[in-house]
Amino acid sequence: MTANRGYHHGDLRRALLAAAVEAIGESGPAALSLRDLARRAGVSHAAPAHHFGDKAGLLTALAVEGFDLLAGALGRAGGDLLETGVAYVRFAVDHRAHFEVMFAPGLYRADDPEVAAARARAGAALRGGIAALPARPAAEPDRDALAAWSIVHGFATLWLAGALPPAAGPDPESAARSVIRRLFE
């Protein structure tokens, strides 16, 4: 059987990653098991190990996919810092399983070259919003990017945890906009 054909799925690797997203959405990344993924995908319990080696290998692939999805979402914001921040929050809400894995590097091989490259692409997209800001005398692009990331990541994490006050409202994008705008005041 060739790697391109995958088992009866046509793309078992993709099916296993989709099953992982579903399982993480139900129980979180710590409860994930390759045996459960095999059951969900309808394949032998050895099939996930064949594709990913172990749980860390599968979560590494999921982190790469997540960082690539995030880079795409941030890139579509067009370099506008406000919209980049909102896109970050939207990504976290829409891709919660990826988000939970991406920012828990103890779960996967954080030093994997594919992870590093995907993380760098996402970071560059986030920094693109900072670069679009008007020049300021005290501008420090690396620190400004860290500040912006901290704000949007913290907001997204608080939103997902249900820890924001009711006054934040029911819409994560609208709530995020009002918080991110504080960067411009």
**Residue 183 pLDDT class (50, 70, 90 cuts):** confident
Tell me what percent of the residues of the chain surpass a pLDDT of 70. Answer: 92
Q: What is the pLDDT of residues 1-37, one digit of tens each?
A: 344 444 455 688 999 999 999 999 999 999 999 999 9
Instruction: Using the predicted structure, report yes or no on whether residue 53 has a pLDDT greater than 60.
Output: yes
> pLDDT tens across 158-167, in order?
999 999 999 9
Amino acid at 121: R
Task: Give the model's pLDDT for residue 147.
Answer: 86
| Residue 75 vs residues 71, 95, 171: alpha-carbon distances, Å | 6, 16, 22
User: pLDDT value at position 9?
Assistant: 56
Tokens (6 digits) for 164: 């924001």
